[in-house]
Protein backbone atom coordinates (compact mmCIF):
# COMPACT_ATOMS: atom_id res chain seq x y z
CA UNK A 1 0.00 0.00 0.00
CA UNK A 2 1.25 3.46 -0.85
CA UNK A 3 2.28 5.54 2.14
CA UNK A 4 0.52 8.88 1.73
CA UNK A 5 3.06 10.49 4.05
CA UNK A 6 5.90 9.87 1.61
CA UNK A 7 6.30 12.70 -0.87
CA UNK A 8 7.21 11.84 -4.47
CA UNK A 9 10.74 12.60 -5.64
CA UNK A 10 12.60 12.39 -8.94
CA UNK A 11 14.27 9.25 -10.21
CA UNK A 12 17.82 8.64 -8.96
CA UNK A 13 20.83 9.81 -10.95
CA UNK A 14 23.58 7.62 -9.58
CA UNK A 15 27.27 8.52 -9.64
CA UNK A 16 26.57 11.90 -11.22
CA UNK A 17 29.44 14.35 -11.60
CA UNK A 18 29.74 17.75 -13.25
CA UNK A 19 30.20 17.54 -17.00
CA UNK A 20 33.29 18.89 -18.75
CA UNK A 21 33.32 22.00 -20.88
CA UNK A 22 33.14 21.50 -24.66
CA UNK A 23 36.68 21.03 -26.02
CA UNK A 24 38.41 23.27 -28.55
CA UNK A 25 38.55 20.57 -31.19
CA UNK A 26 36.67 20.23 -34.49
CA UNK A 27 33.68 18.00 -35.10
CA UNK A 28 34.10 16.37 -38.49
CA UNK A 29 31.33 15.03 -40.69
CA UNK A 30 30.95 13.90 -44.27
CA UNK A 31 29.73 17.28 -45.55
CA UNK A 32 31.04 19.80 -43.04
CA UNK A 33 33.43 20.51 -40.20
CA UNK A 34 32.21 22.34 -37.09
CA UNK A 35 35.18 24.01 -35.45
CA UNK A 36 35.86 26.63 -32.76
CA UNK A 37 35.43 30.03 -34.34
CA UNK A 38 38.55 32.08 -35.04
CA UNK A 39 37.42 35.63 -35.89
CA UNK A 40 40.56 36.42 -37.86
CA UNK A 41 40.36 33.26 -39.95
CA UNK A 42 36.60 32.76 -40.32
CA UNK A 43 35.18 36.29 -40.40
CA UNK A 44 36.01 37.02 -44.08
CA UNK A 45 34.25 33.89 -45.33
CA UNK A 46 31.30 34.33 -42.99
CA UNK A 47 30.88 37.98 -43.84
CA UNK A 48 30.93 37.28 -47.56
CA UNK A 49 28.39 34.48 -47.19
CA UNK A 50 26.15 36.61 -44.94
CA UNK A 51 26.04 39.40 -47.52
CA UNK A 52 24.07 37.06 -49.79
CA UNK A 53 21.22 37.63 -47.33
CA UNK A 54 20.62 41.01 -48.97
CA UNK A 55 17.60 41.97 -46.86
CA UNK A 56 19.24 40.94 -43.58
CA UNK A 57 16.37 38.60 -42.72
CA UNK A 58 18.70 36.20 -40.87
CA UNK A 59 19.29 38.88 -38.25
CA UNK A 60 15.62 39.66 -37.56
CA UNK A 61 15.46 37.58 -34.39
CA UNK A 62 19.07 38.07 -33.29
CA UNK A 63 19.99 40.91 -30.96
CA UNK A 64 22.42 42.45 -33.46
CA UNK A 65 21.81 44.02 -36.84
CA UNK A 66 23.46 42.84 -40.10
CA UNK A 67 27.08 43.85 -40.59
CA UNK A 68 27.94 45.46 -43.92
CA UNK A 69 31.53 46.12 -42.85
CA UNK A 70 33.94 43.22 -42.39
CA UNK A 71 36.02 44.86 -39.67
CA UNK A 72 32.91 45.62 -37.61
CA UNK A 73 31.74 42.02 -37.98
CA UNK A 74 35.15 40.67 -36.96
CA UNK A 75 35.20 42.94 -33.90
CA UNK A 76 31.71 41.78 -32.96
CA UNK A 77 32.74 38.13 -33.18
CA UNK A 78 35.73 38.81 -30.94
CA UNK A 79 33.49 40.51 -28.39
CA UNK A 80 30.79 37.82 -28.45
CA UNK A 81 32.97 34.71 -28.43
CA UNK A 82 33.62 34.67 -24.68
CA UNK A 83 33.61 30.92 -24.04
CA UNK A 84 29.96 31.08 -23.03
CA UNK A 85 28.71 31.52 -25.66
CA UNK A 86 31.31 29.33 -27.34
CA UNK A 87 30.97 30.08 -31.05
CA UNK A 88 31.68 27.53 -33.76
CA UNK A 89 32.10 28.03 -37.47
CA UNK A 90 30.41 25.60 -39.83
CA UNK A 91 32.87 24.94 -42.66
CA UNK A 92 31.85 23.46 -46.01
CA UNK A 93 33.95 20.30 -46.50
CA UNK A 94 34.09 20.83 -50.27
CA UNK A 95 35.05 24.50 -50.42
CA UNK A 96 36.83 24.76 -47.06
CA UNK A 97 34.97 28.02 -46.42
CA UNK A 98 32.91 28.97 -43.37
CA UNK A 99 29.21 29.35 -44.23
CA UNK A 100 27.49 29.61 -40.84
CA UNK A 101 27.82 29.78 -37.07
CA UNK A 102 26.29 28.20 -33.98
CA UNK A 103 27.27 28.41 -30.32
CA UNK A 104 27.16 26.33 -27.18
CA UNK A 105 25.85 28.61 -24.45
CA UNK A 106 24.34 28.77 -20.95
CA UNK A 107 26.64 25.91 -20.09
CA UNK A 108 25.50 24.36 -16.79
CA UNK A 109 28.14 21.74 -15.99
CA UNK A 110 26.76 20.89 -12.56
CA UNK A 111 23.38 19.82 -13.93
CA UNK A 112 24.48 18.63 -17.36
CA UNK A 113 22.48 21.19 -19.31
CA UNK A 114 23.68 23.09 -22.37
CA UNK A 115 21.99 25.20 -25.04
CA UNK A 116 22.64 25.69 -28.73
CA UNK A 117 22.14 29.28 -29.80
CA UNK A 118 23.28 32.11 -32.04
CA UNK A 119 22.47 29.84 -34.98
CA UNK A 120 23.03 31.93 -38.10
CA UNK A 121 23.07 30.06 -41.40
CA UNK A 122 24.06 32.04 -44.47
CA UNK A 123 22.11 31.42 -47.70
CA UNK A 124 24.95 29.09 -48.74
CA UNK A 125 24.13 26.79 -45.82
CA UNK A 126 20.36 27.07 -45.51
CA UNK A 127 18.25 24.07 -46.55
CA UNK A 128 21.26 21.84 -47.19
CA UNK A 129 22.15 18.42 -45.75
CA UNK A 130 25.28 20.13 -44.40
CA UNK A 131 23.08 22.32 -42.17
CA UNK A 132 21.45 19.26 -40.62
CA UNK A 133 24.75 17.43 -40.26
CA UNK A 134 26.24 20.38 -38.35
CA UNK A 135 23.44 20.24 -35.77
CA UNK A 136 23.80 16.47 -35.46
CA UNK A 137 27.54 16.80 -34.83
CA UNK A 138 26.95 19.33 -32.06
CA UNK A 139 24.34 17.10 -30.44
CA UNK A 140 26.61 14.08 -30.69
CA UNK A 141 29.40 15.88 -28.87
CA UNK A 142 27.06 17.01 -26.10
CA UNK A 143 25.48 13.63 -25.43
CA UNK A 144 28.13 11.08 -26.34
CA UNK A 145 31.46 12.79 -25.75
CA UNK A 146 30.56 15.05 -22.85
CA UNK A 147 27.67 13.17 -21.21
CA UNK A 148 25.21 16.04 -20.76
CA UNK A 149 21.63 15.15 -19.84
CA UNK A 150 19.73 17.96 -21.55
CA UNK A 151 20.22 20.00 -24.74
CA UNK A 152 18.19 23.17 -25.18
CA UNK A 153 16.95 25.27 -28.09
CA UNK A 154 15.27 28.61 -27.50
CA UNK A 155 13.85 31.17 -29.89
CA UNK A 156 11.66 34.22 -30.19
CA UNK A 157 8.14 32.81 -30.15
CA UNK A 158 7.38 34.73 -33.34
CA UNK A 159 10.25 33.08 -35.20
CA UNK A 160 8.29 30.49 -37.17
CA UNK A 161 11.37 29.21 -39.03
CA UNK A 162 13.16 28.47 -35.75
CA UNK A 163 10.12 26.62 -34.41
CA UNK A 164 10.06 24.46 -37.55
CA UNK A 165 13.80 23.80 -37.33
CA UNK A 166 13.62 22.74 -33.67
CA UNK A 167 10.77 20.33 -34.36
CA UNK A 168 12.42 18.91 -37.48
CA UNK A 169 15.65 18.31 -35.53
CA UNK A 170 13.83 16.31 -32.87
CA UNK A 171 13.51 18.81 -30.03
CA UNK A 172 10.39 18.80 -27.84
CA UNK A 173 8.45 22.01 -27.22
CA UNK A 174 8.14 22.74 -23.51
CA UNK A 175 6.34 26.07 -23.39
CA UNK A 176 6.77 29.81 -23.84
CA UNK A 177 8.14 32.28 -21.31
CA UNK A 178 6.10 35.45 -21.79
CA UNK A 179 7.89 38.81 -21.80
CA UNK A 180 11.16 37.03 -21.17
CA UNK A 181 13.42 39.65 -22.74
CA UNK A 182 13.68 43.03 -24.43
CA UNK A 183 15.89 43.35 -27.49
CA UNK A 184 16.03 45.87 -30.31
CA UNK A 185 13.58 47.94 -28.23
CA UNK A 186 10.86 45.29 -28.54
CA UNK A 187 9.40 42.46 -26.50
CA UNK A 188 10.47 38.84 -26.80
CA UNK A 189 8.39 35.90 -25.65
CA UNK A 190 10.81 32.96 -25.61
CA UNK A 191 9.83 29.46 -26.73
CA UNK A 192 11.72 26.62 -25.03
CA UNK A 193 12.62 23.29 -26.63
CA UNK A 194 14.75 20.44 -25.31
CA UNK A 195 16.25 17.07 -26.14
CA UNK A 196 17.23 14.54 -23.47
CA UNK A 197 20.06 12.05 -23.36
CA UNK A 198 17.52 9.21 -23.31
CA UNK A 199 16.09 10.48 -26.60
CA UNK A 200 19.40 10.90 -28.37
CA UNK A 201 19.93 7.28 -29.57
CA UNK A 202 16.71 7.29 -31.61
CA UNK A 203 17.37 10.84 -32.87
CA UNK A 204 20.88 9.86 -33.95
CA UNK A 205 19.61 6.81 -35.80
CA UNK A 206 17.18 8.95 -37.80
CA UNK A 207 19.85 11.57 -38.56
CA UNK A 208 22.16 8.88 -39.87
CA UNK A 209 19.42 7.38 -42.01
CA UNK A 210 18.49 10.75 -43.50
CA UNK A 211 22.07 11.90 -44.06
CA UNK A 212 23.13 8.70 -45.81
CA UNK A 213 24.11 9.47 -49.43
CA UNK A 214 21.56 6.91 -50.64
CA UNK A 215 18.79 9.20 -49.38
CA UNK A 216 19.65 11.82 -52.02
CA UNK A 217 19.17 11.60 -55.77
CA UNK A 218 21.62 12.68 -58.48
CA UNK A 219 20.47 16.29 -58.09
CA UNK A 220 21.01 16.23 -54.33
CA UNK A 221 17.30 16.19 -53.52
CA UNK A 222 16.15 14.16 -50.52
CA UNK A 223 14.23 10.98 -51.22
CA UNK A 224 12.59 10.87 -47.78
CA UNK A 225 12.12 13.48 -45.10
CA UNK A 226 13.78 13.69 -41.70
CA UNK A 227 11.13 12.49 -39.27
CA UNK A 228 11.68 11.89 -35.55
CA UNK A 229 9.09 9.73 -33.83
CA UNK A 230 7.74 11.16 -30.59
pLDDT tens digit string along 125-142? 999 999 999 999 999 999
CA distances to 6, 117, 144, 163, 165 from 193, rounded to whole Å, are 32, 12, 20, 9, 11
pLDDT value at residue 5: 84
pLDDT value at residue 105: 98
Alpha-carbon distance 197 to 45, whole Å? 34
> 91: which strand partners?
33, 98
Q: Which of 109, 136, 110 is nearest to 226 (CA)?
A: 136
Does residue 230 register a pLDDT over 70? no
Quickly state the pLDDT bin for 101 (edges 50, 70, 90): very high
- Judge whether 152 and 111 are in contact, CB under 8 Å: no
Share of the chain above pLDDT 70, in %: 99
Alpha-carbon distance 51 to 55, whole Å? 9
Share of the chain above pLDDT 90, in %: 95
The helix or strand, by DSSP H or E, that contains position 71, with its residue range, turns out to be helix 70-80
Alpha-carbon distance 175 to 6, whole Å? 30
Confidence (pTM)? 0.95
Amino acid sequence: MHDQNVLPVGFPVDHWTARPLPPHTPMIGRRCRVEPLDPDRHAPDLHEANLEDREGRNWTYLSSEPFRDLSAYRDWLRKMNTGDPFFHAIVDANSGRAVGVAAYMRIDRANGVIEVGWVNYSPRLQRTPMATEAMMLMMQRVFEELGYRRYEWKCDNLNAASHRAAERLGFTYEGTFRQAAVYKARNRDTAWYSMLDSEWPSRKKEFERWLDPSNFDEKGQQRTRLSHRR
